[in-house]
Structure 1
């Protein structure tokens, strides 16, 4: 059973490796775009109007994709005060329950995000004249990656034996000051 947990964790790390690189690339493009926008507005009088809209789309895509990275590192919202006070067997079931609830939320976001992106194909951006559906596609894509990460972490949480004990041991006890 430990092989299933470790395989899920390894696959989650591989997916996260790719997502992190995409987020860094989007961040680099965002920084360059904002710098260009500041330059053309205040230093070099060029009629470049696309920088603000591009920055908005890059930031949205980057932030949405970064959610799955937070899931992979277990940095998403959790109820630590309750989690640390439970025995190991209850911790496993609580972690799996959190994963299932999170998966349901992100699957609903994926499902409705597909319709959102599809409807966006009939609306066009003001600057680029491209269908907004391409920008809106970040919502279902990021939700799908979050679902994959939650499924992998759920499998890991269900089959891992000692991992949840270490999580509780690493969590500081709020009663000790």
Structure 2
């Protein structure tokens, strides 16, 4: 694997580490928020109405950010049955084609997500009375991170010494040295 491909894979893993930590923090906050909602509803009669809305927004951010984690580890949907039966040159072409198509999809999602988030700033949430644009910003943010991860994986796919053997986890582009 070329030096540039190794640097791309390392950058991908560093970015993924940041996203994984963010997802864990969001998950901990989500669990605490849901626990607080249950306690305030059934054990202590406190009128804490914000917990349901906060849980919704935490879950949206966490789920959308986790997409890029699946991309890094190649744990997205792949057509393994056909892919492994192709010759090596075709597998390399298909891996790069999948990367290009995925990048285009996430770039379009990012582009239109910007408008979606911008329009959300003119609407407010029911409980917090804060602009919904903050919650809607998860779409372009997650799409941008996913597009970056796909581009970094695409560099590894294109410059790998050998063609990928499968579409499964850590198979395309080789292991990180």
What TM-score do you get using the length of structure 1 for normalisation? Answer: 0.91
1:32-71 aligned at under 5 Å gives the runs 32-71=32-71
The alpha-carbon distance between structure 1 residues 8 and 63, as it changes in their structure 2 partners (threshold 3 A), is: same
**Count of aligned pairs between the two proteins:** 170
Rounded to whole Å, the distance in 2 between the matches of 1:82 and 1:158 is 20
Which sections of structure 2, spanning at least 5 residues, go unmatched? 172-177
Q: Secondary structure at the match of 2:104?
A: helix
Residue deviations 1:61-101 (CA, integer Å, cap 9, x gap): 00000000000000011111111111222111100100111
Q: Secondary structure at the match of 2:129?
A: coil
Q: What residue number does 2:175 align with?
A: none
Q: Is the 8 A contact 2:40 2:46 kept in 1?
A: yes
Q: What residue number does 1:88 align with?
A: 88
Rounded to whole Å, the distance in 2 between the matches of 1:160 and 1:104 is 22
Structure ranking higher in helix proportion: 1
Rounded to whole Å, the distance in 1 between the matches of 2:97 and 2:163 is 16
Between 156-165 and 81-90, report the one with greater CA deviation.
156-165
Q: What residue number does 1:115 align with?
A: 115
Moved runs in structure 1, 4+ residues, more than 6 A? Answer: none
Measured on the aligned residues, the alpha-carbon RMSD in Å equals 1.7
Which sections of structure 1, spanning at least 5 residues, go unmatched? 172-177
